[in-house]
Amino acid sequence: MNCKQIDEDSEVVKDVVEDQEESQQNSILNIGSVTTSGKYLIHCLTIIGQIEGHFILPPQNKTTKYEHVIPALIAIEQSSEIKGLVILLNTVGGDVEAGLAISELISGMKKPTVSIVLGGGHSIGVPLAVAADKSFIVPSATMTIHPVRMSGLVLGVPQTLSYFDRMQDRIAKFVEKNSDIKPERFKELMMQTGELVMDVGTVLDGENAVKEGLIDDLGSLSDAIEYLNDSIASSENEIEKNNKIQLDKKSSCDCCCCKK
């Protein structure tokens, strides 16, 4: 191989690396997510500001758009290269149905998932935090649990209150299913008076969120990555074990189909 060929190959590699870096930068700018390679290839998804759902929020608001997050989650689950998902949360809440939709998708993923609450995981951010296989919260973060509220025109009829109750039940059931908090305790925290000046509910710091069973553990990024790597390794070992069992069954089978 001559010097000219070496130079051409180096330029090709350089172009590929630059394209990958540009793609990652665009991904961070557009939807706040990036795929990183370390021990395993994992995807980092940020959920920040307000969860934007059926209505577009004002341009000065920091938002997480569910029409960006939902296709990203599907792509992550389908990818043969991405092995796990880290979710970074610093959200004030937002659209209830959009937040629940994202939460349900995360909880239904087969790939290992881990969440970290940084700063805040308020309102509909609570289901988003507990949706992952494992949840962490930094000691300085807080989580607000409060009843469902609605802005705009509301009809003062019994059906409206019934609708609010059913929506709160949907949130409560999801949180109870995906965390260790007791159902009656979660509703007690949701309806507590005397703590918030202009609202009903409770604010939990990191330590108390873990103590209540809402979040699994106190921890930060290194703890989340360590858990994810261990979970991915365990998952891959299980797949290899199952594949070996299938091969052993096939090799020991004497039927004509397997012999072919």
Task: Select which of 43, 103, 122, 146 is catalytic.
Answer: 146
Is 122 one of the annotated active-site residues of the chain? no
- Extract the runs of DSSP E, i.e. beta strands, from the chain: 33-37, 41-52, 63-65, 84-94, 113-121, 134-137, 142-145, 202-205, 217-218
Torsion of CA 195, 197, 202, 205, to 10 degrees: -90
User: From CA 103, how far away is CA 90, in angstroms rounded?
Assistant: 15
Is 54 one of the annotated active-site residues of the chain? no
Task: Select which of 33, 103, 115, 123 is catalytic.
Answer: 123
DSSP β-ladder status, 63-65 and 41-52 = parallel
User: From CA 106, how far away is CA 77, in angstroms rounded?
Assistant: 9
Tell me the catalytic residues.
Answer: 123, 146
